[in-house]
């Protein structure tokens, strides 16, 4: 046995000793118990003694306890077999491994290597350390679990109103089946019915919901359902937008537009056809056949060969009318197109790219995203779409009606039309929006006309027109912006739907929350209770309380003001004043001047009627107030106030200081110059240009009692606070519903109900239900879009296409 | 043909009952109703005054105990039932609406240290100085039948507190160790100890029902998880905490009442500093209990007062005291958030209103609307000096008032001294320690 193995064995022994030290009382018991059996086994005792002596010589005394008595705690190390005293060595164990033939050579090799290696094993961690690590892990785990509540708690904190108990039983009467248990089907008919219901998994006691339905309800919470409903609503709205759009496009009578449209469509169709050739050759072949058929039909008929009645009339006109000539030309071109043999076009790279996009997105998305000028948002909505229009190819050339008239016509038609509810609502909505916009425009124009009343001449006109133009441009820009908004909104919605991945809302950083709390705390420090040994029992006491408090405050403010005066720094005072909240802004609202347009004309009329009236009145008034000249008094008063407000010269000369003083002696000139201080002139009075008003700019102490001197905590600046104070909440100023909303309490408790703490299963989503959430059907806009296409423009387009082929 | 007629909604002019006031259509044109701010200000001022005038929080006193009331527990299923244990080993069941004692049990010899009701409300547990845990039936025994506990567990050491699990048949006791018991077994299913000699209080978390917290006599607060074999963490403070209470709406917050006159709200995830230090008491705080809405908590103190604190506020919003109330030992908030029960040294249990000026009983819709409006006005004008002054005024007994002033002076002196030391020593050599950090010694993992 080499040194390394000995080391290892020693270490094991040490480990055993560690555990044995704890168990020492037990061991002793055992030993004493063994001593009781003295007379039975004497020589065993002797051997034990010898063993003990021999072990004394060793480095450490090591006891192998013997299990002699049934006890609760038995150490694995104290269980012993025969030959207890012998130490097991590693070589003993390994030796038999070497000898056995079944042992794989690999393990043998490993063992040999182990035997030869010199490095020792690391000591296992002490119990204290392991426990510490265990505690750390457990703490982490439980704090993570507790953190799952954070969103719920935050939500409750932020809620405008929270109603306790949180989990309320649905109100209203319950069904008899829910209340009464133990009802059984008795008559054979009942039994038959119930057996049928049972076999079909239909609800028996509760006649509304099947288990499947209930499960589905449980799977989706109210919020989820609301979100889903909103999504569906939006999708439906979009669908109807596109229906409306298609209908409107359908109504456009401009030939040029349709031509372009048709061309684009044909191009697209070809592209699609190419695609189809790759993906679905059978369908492509069918399409090809159809095209062929339409070509054959075209070749057979004389439809576009300028041989019809219309063509003949046109031919007569063609000499003089260019448009007629053009129309005939077009007909011929069409014929040529249709009769041409189909050549499969090679696809361009960029077109292919577009195609891919098109496949990824529904076509209306592409249209709305790519078309910077979106005709369907600007134009008037039409709802003629349901009528099947004549073949676009055969439409006659109408006189291009002006857009104005067309719009009017459409409006009229719209009024007459009756359509499905949703669509109509949508259309109405659009219409109102548009009207509003128009109104705005109308409003804007007269204002600009009124404004430049003061000016005169041709310049004014020019300016006006320029401004008008500018404004119109502005309006147009606004419109465009609106359109862009709509488009972008739609795009974002679509993106969201396409992603259909829910990113869990991450809780905001804790630092901010703690800061918020600290701020709250700081605020609260201010709001201490005024605890005094005085008891306020009556209204008078309370009032006295106020005066007591305010007296202190005023004293403080007075001393403060005095300090300011002595320092003679009007600047700083002004700054102080600025900081304070202006009483006029907080407590009063400037009286609104009611301008009644009829009033002056009435007065004029009266004057006209009795011309001598005013003069007589004046004389009467003069007679009545002959003694006191009110106006002069007022002016005097004002002058006095002005004088008082002017800064005075401060005379700091000390008579008799440095020269003679006495009655009749004036201080010398140099002194007067030096010690008479002239203060800078005061700021112009506010009532300087108001002849009939005296505005006092002094701080009114009686108002000051009611004023807020510092900006309270949650507000950022005084204007915020002022607006908050200015808006009334009472019933005198608001309607009943508004008052109800404004004064709703933050916490509502139900009288006589026990408020239980929230339960985990009610508020934290399980993993299971989260899974259900994932599984629930998402709205697939592609489907919706497809449907929209089918219901709206798509079906018609397809029909048109078919006709074209014919 | 379309016939256009004038039509009015009868809801606009028909009264609900003949006793209701006449409905008058109203013109809300702001020019017709000027001076809205001054008028509302006056209303707010009046509302605050009336609020203080009607602030009569004391409802009733339940007397019957023959020694100081040591613990109170609320019934989990009945609002009108309350259990209380006294220092002479008596347990009483009270009917609050009748204000009478339903039942008296001589439960223990010596103090009744802790009492708690089972989650279903059919039985309750008591622990006492006689080293026993007893379970009692909530129903009174029949006439002539002696009161006997359903089960009795004899322990090795004195139990100082007990709390029951929110929804399972397990409970926790504390004494020399914190033990978790199964109701069916006579030995604890788990016992935690972490080098501490004794615990004074143990409480289950009502939301995360597997978590526990306890106050130990070595000035520490220890957290446990019943699913783990070892305690989670402990925080050692400068003075001992007497009791603690978890916030019933926020799983991770708890508040402990401390011997240093303060209460501390902790977030269990960040034990190194308390979230808030609640100061106002002038003597050791003996008990604390949260309102079931989790917005406020009430504390009982050795200074003979009961105070109500908003959960985030550093100072109390209300202080209750009466001449005859001595050291308040235990306090509980009723399960409907309306009342507070306090048990004190002089053998009485007092019932207080949680909102001092609240009108009791069922309110009519108009009363409710008026109350809400007044509340809103008070809130809106709370920063105005007169309103603030009236709303904050409270009466205090003279000796508490003096003590408070004294404490304030001491605190100010200490602060000034620290400031001076800082001023006259090398910069950064005297660190700035916030009030929150001052009271925590260490966090032991």
Give all domains of chain B, ordered by start, each with its CATH number: 60-353 (2.130.10.10)
Selection from B126, B128, B155 nearest residue B138 by Cα? B126
What pLDDT score does A80 carry? 56
Round to whole Å and give the CA distance between A306 and A329. 9
Round to whole Å and give the CA distance between A420 and A427. 11
Most confident stretch, A198-207, A488-497, B135-144: B135-144
A132, closest residue in chain B (CA to CA): B445
What pLDDT score does B105 carry? 95
Taking one residue from A and the other from B, the number of pairs with CB-CB distance under 8 angstroms is 242
Tens of pLDDT, residues A669-689: 888 888 888 888 888 888 888
> Does B292 sit within 8 Å of A139, measured CB to CB?
no
What pLDDT score does A171 carry? 67
Round to whole Å and give the CA distance between B188 and B180. 5
Residue A207: which pLDDT band, with cuts at 50, 70 and 90?
A: low
Round to whole Å and give the CA distance between B281 and B239. 15
* Better-scored residue on pLDDT, B70 or A552: B70
List the beta strands (DSSP E) in A423-496. none
> Percentages helix, strand, coil for chain A, rounded to the nearest 5?
65, 0, 35
* Range of lowest pLDDT (A356-360, A551-555, A766-770): A356-360
Q: How far off is chain B from A713, nearest CA to CA, in Å?
A: 9
Q: Are strands A530-532 and A162-164 parallel, antiparallel or unpaired?
A: unpaired
Tens of pLDDT, residues B231-265: 999 999 999 999 999 999 999 999 999 999 999 99
Round to whole Å and give the CA distance between B66 and B338. 28
Residue A160: which pLDDT band, with cuts at 50, 70 and 90?
A: very high
Task: Give the contacts of B131 (CB within 8 A, at least 6 positions apart).
Answer: B154, B155, B156, B157, B158, B159
Buried b (16+ CB within 10 A) or exposed e, A122-141: eeeeeeeeeeeeebeebbee
* Better-scored residue on pLDDT, B416 or A475: B416
Q: How far off is chain A from B319, nearest CA to CA, in Å?
A: 9
User: Strand, helix or coil at B425?
Assistant: coil
* Better-scored residue on pLDDT, B160 or A623: B160
Tens of pLDDT, residues B7-23: 888 877 788 888 887 77
Selection from A205, A231, A203 nearest residue A217 by Cα? A203
> Does A757 sit within 8 Å of B381, measured CB to CB?
no
Q: How far off is chain B from A673, nearest CA to CA, in Å?
A: 46
Does any CB of chain B come closer than 8 Å to the CB of residue A153?
Answer: yes
Tens of pLDDT, residues B186-245: 999 999 988 877 999 999 999 999 999 999 999 999 999 999 988 999 999 999 999 999
Does any CB of chain B come closer than 8 Å to the CB of residue A130?
Answer: no
**Which residue in A135, A529, A729 is closest to B392 by CB distance?**
A529
> Does A743 sit within 8 Å of B376, measured CB to CB?
yes
Does any CB of chain B come closer than 8 Å to the CB of residue A588?
Answer: yes
Q: How far off is chain A from B136, nearest CA to CA, in Å?
A: 23
Q: Tokens representing B64?
A: 């019957």
Phi/psi of residue A503, nearest 5 degrees: -90, 125
Selection from A394, A373, A369, A366 nearest residue A271 by Cα? A366
Chain A residues lying within 8 Å of B33, measured CB to CB: 732-733
Round to whole Å and give the CA distance between B191 and B135. 20
Tens of pLDDT, residues A770-792: 444 444 444 444 433 334 333 44
> Does A542 sit within 8 Å of B33, measured CB to CB?
no
pLDDT surpassing 50 at residue A236: yes
What pLDDT score does A495 carry? 53
Round to whole Å and give the CA distance between B416 and B418. 5
Q: How far is CA B272 from CA A424, B230, B275, B300, in A?
A: 64, 20, 10, 25
What pLDDT score does A322 carry? 86
* Better-scored residue on pLDDT, B115 or A614: B115
> Does B337 sit within 8 Å of A134, measured CB to CB?
no
Q: How far off is chain B from A592, nearest CA to CA, in Å?
A: 7
Radius of gyration of chain A (CA): 50
Cβ(B401)–Cβ(A539) under 8 Å? Answer: no
Residue A411: which pLDDT band, with cuts at 50, 70 and 90?
A: very low
> Does B314 sit within 8 Å of A760, measured CB to CB?
no
pLDDT surpassing 60 at residue A608: no
* Range of lowest pLDDT (A164-168, A280-284, A375-379, A759-763): A375-379
DSSP A614-644: HHHHHHHHHHHTSS--HHHHHHHHHHHHHHH
What pLDDT score does A168 carry? 74
> How far is the first Cα of chain A from the last one, in angstroms, to the nearest whole number?
104
**Which residue in B28, B232, B280 is closest to A139 by CB distance?**
B232
Round to whole Å and give the CA distance between A555 and A705. 11
What pLDDT score does B220 carry? 94
| Residue keyed to tokens 């339940």 | B62
Round to whole Å and give the CA distance between A66 and A81. 9
pLDDT surpassing 50 at residue A589: no
Q: Where are the alpha helices (DSSP H) in A168-251?
A: 176-179, 188-199, 211-219, 222-251
Tell which of B16, B167, B249 to mutate to test the A interface (max A CBs under 10 Å).
B249
Residue A11: which pLDDT band, with cuts at 50, 70 and 90?
A: very low
Q: How far off is chain A from B363, nearest CA to CA, in Å?
A: 10
Task: Give the contacts of A486 (CB within 8 A, at least 6 positions apart).
Answer: A377
Across residues B408-414, what is the average pLDDT?
96
Q: Are strands B253-258 and B306-310 parallel, antiparallel or unpaired?
A: unpaired
Does any CB of chain B come closer than 8 Å to the CB of residue A706?
Answer: yes
Mean pLDDT score across all residues of chain B: 94
Q: Is the dihedral of CA B414, B416, B421, B427 positive or negative?
A: positive
Round to whole Å and give the CA distance between A60 and A56. 7
What pLDDT score does B84 carry? 97
* Range of lowest pLDDT (A267-281, B25-39, B129-143, B431-445): A267-281
Cβ(B176)–Cβ(B185) under 8 Å? Answer: no
Tens of pLDDT, residues A172-200: 676 666 666 666 778 899 888 888 888 87
Each domain of chain A, given as residue ranges in start order, spans: 239-301, 303-338
Q: How far is CA A209 from CA A201, A202, A528, A772, in A?
A: 11, 8, 57, 19
Tens of pLDDT, residues A15-65: 444 444 444 444 444 444 444 445 556 888 888 888 778 777 655 545 555
> Does A550 sit within 8 Å of B389, measured CB to CB?
yes
> Does A729 sit within 8 Å of B396, measured CB to CB?
no
Across residues A527-541, what is the average pLDDT?
82
* Range of lowest pLDDT (A427-436, A611-620, B237-246, B405-414): A427-436
The pTM score is: 0.58
Q: How far off is chain B from A435, nearest CA to CA, in Å?
A: 25
Give the rounded percent of residues in chain B with a pLDDT score beyond 70: 100
- From chain A residues 14-53, the ones with a CB under 8 A of any chain B CB are none
* Range of lowest pLDDT (A344-348, A723-727, B107-111, B254-258): A344-348
Report the largest interatomic distance among the alpha carbons of chain B, rounded to a whole angstrom: 97
Round to whole Å and give the CA distance between B232 and B240. 19
Phi/psi of residue A726, nearest 5 degrees: -70, -30
Give the rounded percent of residues in chain A with a pLDDT score beyond 70: 51
Element at B441 (helix H, strand E): strand B440-444
What pLDDT score does B398 carry? 95
Cβ(A452)–Cβ(A464) under 8 Å? Answer: yes
Mean pLDDT score across all residues of chain A: 67
**Which residue in B37, B390, B396 is closest to A587 by CB distance?**
B37
Across residues B92-99, what is the average pLDDT?
95
């Amino acid at each position: 046995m080499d040194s390394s193995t000995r080391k290892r064995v020693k270490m094991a022994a040490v480990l055993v000793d560690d555990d044995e030290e704890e168990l020492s009382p037990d061991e002793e018991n055992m030993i004493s118990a063994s001593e009781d059996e003295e007379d039975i086994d004497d020589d065993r005792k002797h051997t034990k003694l010898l063993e003990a002596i021999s072990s004394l010589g060793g480095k450490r005394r090591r006891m192998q306890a013997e299990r002699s008595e049934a006890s609760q705690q038995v150490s694995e190390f104290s269980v012993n077999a025969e030959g207890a005293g012998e130490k097991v060595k590693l070589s003993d164990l390994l030796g038999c491994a070497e000898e056995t033939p079944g042992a794989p050579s690999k393990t043998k090799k490993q063992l040999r290597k182990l035997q030869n290696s010199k490095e020792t094993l690391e000591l296992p961690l002490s119990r204290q350390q392991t426990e510490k690590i265990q505690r750390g892990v457990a703490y982490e785990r439980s704090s993570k679990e507790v953190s799952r509540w954070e969103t719920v708690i935050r939500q409750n904190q932020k809620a405008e109103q929270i109603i306790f108990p949180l989990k309320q039983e649905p109100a209203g009467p319950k069904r008899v089946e829910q209340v009464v248990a133990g009802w059984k089907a008795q008559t054979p008919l009942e039994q038959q019915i119930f057996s049928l219901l049972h076999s079909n998994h239909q609800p028996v006691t509760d006649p509304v919901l099947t288990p499947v339905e209930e499960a589905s309800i449980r799977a989706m919470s109210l919020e989820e359902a609301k979100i889903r409903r909103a999504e569906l609503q939006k999708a439906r709205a979009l669908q109807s937008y596109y229906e409306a759009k298609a209908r409107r496009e359908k109504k456009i009578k401009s030939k040029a537009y349709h031509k372009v449209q048709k061309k684009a469509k044909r191009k697209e169709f070809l592209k699609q056809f190419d695609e189809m050739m790759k993906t679905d050759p059978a369908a492509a072949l069918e399409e090809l056949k159809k095209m062929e058929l339409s070509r054959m039909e075209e070749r057979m008929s004389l439809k576009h060969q300028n041989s019809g009645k219309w063509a003949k009339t046109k031919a007569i006109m063609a000499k003089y009318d260019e448009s007629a000539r053009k129309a005939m030309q077009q007909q011929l071109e069409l014929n040529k197109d249709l009769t041409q043999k189909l050549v499969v076009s090679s696809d361009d790279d960029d077109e292919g790219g577009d195609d891919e996009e098109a496949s990824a997105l529904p076509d209306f998305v592409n249209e709305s995203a790519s078309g910077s000028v979106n005709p369907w948002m600007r134009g008037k909505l039409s709802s003629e779409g349901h009528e099947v229009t004549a073949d676009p190819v055969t439409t006659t050339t109408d006189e291009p009606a002006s857009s104005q008239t067309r719009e009017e016509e459409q409006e009229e038609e719209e009024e007459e039309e009756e359509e499905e509810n949703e669509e109509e609502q949508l259309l109405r909505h659009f219409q109102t929006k548009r009207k509003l916009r128009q109104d705005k425009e109308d409003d804007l124009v007269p204002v600009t006309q009124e404004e430049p009343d003061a000016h005169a001449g041709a310049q004014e006109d020019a300016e006006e027109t320029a401004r008008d133009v500018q404004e119109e441009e502005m309006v147009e820009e606004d419109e465009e912006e609106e359109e862009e908004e709509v488009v972008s909104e739609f795009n974002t919605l679509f993106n969201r739907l396409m992603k259909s991945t829910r990113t869990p809302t991450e809780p905001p950083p804790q630092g901010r929350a703690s800061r918020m709390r600290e701020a709250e705390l700081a605020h609260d420090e201010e709001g201490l209770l005024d605890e005094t040994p005085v008891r306020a029992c009556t209204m008078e006491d309370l009032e006295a309380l106020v005066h007591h408090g305010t007296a202190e405050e005023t004293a403080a403010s007075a001393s403060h003001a005095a300090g300011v005066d002595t320092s003679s720094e009007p600047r700083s005072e002004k700054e102080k004043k600025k900081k304070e909240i202006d009483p006029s802004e907080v407590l009063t609202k400037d009286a609104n001047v009611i301008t009644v347009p009829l009033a002056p004309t009435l007065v004029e009329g009266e004057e006209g009627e009795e011309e001598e009236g005013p003069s007589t009145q004046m004389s009467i008034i003069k007679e009545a107030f002959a003694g006191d000249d009110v106006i002069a008094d007022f002016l005097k008063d004002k002058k006095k106030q002005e004088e008082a407000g002017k800064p005075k010269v401060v005379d700091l000369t000390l008579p008799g200081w440095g020269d003679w003083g006495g009655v009749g002696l004036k201080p010398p000139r140099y002194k007067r110059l030096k010690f008479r201080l002239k203060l800078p002139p005061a700021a112009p009075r506010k009532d300087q240009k108001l002849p009939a008003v005296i505005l006092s700019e002094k701080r009114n102490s009686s108002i000051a009692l009611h004023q807020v001197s510092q900006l309270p905590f949650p507000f950022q600046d005084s204007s915020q606070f002022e607006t908050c104070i200015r808006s009334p909440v009472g019933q005198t100023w608001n309607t009943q519903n508004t008052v109800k909303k404004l004064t709703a309490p933050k916490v509502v408790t139900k009288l006589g109900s026990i408020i239980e703490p929230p339960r985990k299963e009610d508020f934290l989503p399980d993993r299971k239900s989260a899974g259900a959430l994932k599984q629930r059907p998402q709205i697939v806009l592609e489907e919706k879009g497809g449907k929209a296409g089918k219901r709206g423009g798509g079906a018609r387009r397809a029909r048109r296409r078919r006709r074209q082929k014919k | 043909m379309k016939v256009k007629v004038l039509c009015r909604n009868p809801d606009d002019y028909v009264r609900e009952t003949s006793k209701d006031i006449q409905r008058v259509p109203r013109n809300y044109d702001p020019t017709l109703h000027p001076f809205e701010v001054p008028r509302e200000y006056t209303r707010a001022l009046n509302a605050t005054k009336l609020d203080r005038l009607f602030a009569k929080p004391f409802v009733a006193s339940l007397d019957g105990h023959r020694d100081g009331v040591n613990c109170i527990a609320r019934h989990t299923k009945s609002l009108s039932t309350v259990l209380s244990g006294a220092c002479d080993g008596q347990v009483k069941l009270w009917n609050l609406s009748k204000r009478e004692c339903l039942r008296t049990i001589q439960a223990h010899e010596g103090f009744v240290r802790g009492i708690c009701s089972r989650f279903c409300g059919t039985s309750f547990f008591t622990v006492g100085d006689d080293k026993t845990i007893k379970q009692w039936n909530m129903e009174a025994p029949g006439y002539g039948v002696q009161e006997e506990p359903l089960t009795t567990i004899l322990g090795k050491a004195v139990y100082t507190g007990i709390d029951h699990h929110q929804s399972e048949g397990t409970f926790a006791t504390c004494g020399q160790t914190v033990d978790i018991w199964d109701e069916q077994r006579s030995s604890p299913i788990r016992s935690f100890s972490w080098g501490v000699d004794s615990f004074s209080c143990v409480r289950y978390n009502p939301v995360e029902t597997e978590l526990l917290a306890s106050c130990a006599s070595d000035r520490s607060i220890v957290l446990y998880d019943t699913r783990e074999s070892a305690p989670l963490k402990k925080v050692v403070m400068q003075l001992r905490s007497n009791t603690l209470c978890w916030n019933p709406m926020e799983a991770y917050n708890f508040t402990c009442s401390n011997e240093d006159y303060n209460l501390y709200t902790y977030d269990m995830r960040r034990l190194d500093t308390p979230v808030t230090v609640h100061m106002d008491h002038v003597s050791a705080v003996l008990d604390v209990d949260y309102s079931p809405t989790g917005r406020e908590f009430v504390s009982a103190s050795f200074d003979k007062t009961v105070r109500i604190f908003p959960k985030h506020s550093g100072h109390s919003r209300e202080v209750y005291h009466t001449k005859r109330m001595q050291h308040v030992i235990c306090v509980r908030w009723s399960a409907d958030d309306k009342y507070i029960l306090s048990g004190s040294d002089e053998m009485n249990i007092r019932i207080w209103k949680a909102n001092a000026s609240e009108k009791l009983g069922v309110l009519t819709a108009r009363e409710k609307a008026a109350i809400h409006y007044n509340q809103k006005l008070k809130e809106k004008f709370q920063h105005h000096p007169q309103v603030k002054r009236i709303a904050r005024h409270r009466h205090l007994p003279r000796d508490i008032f003096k003590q408070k002033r004294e404490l304030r002076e001491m605190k100010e002196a200490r602060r000034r001294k620290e400031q001076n030391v800082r001023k006259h020593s090398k910069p950064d050599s005297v660190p700035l320690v916030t009030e929150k950090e001052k009271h925590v010694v260490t966090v032991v993992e």
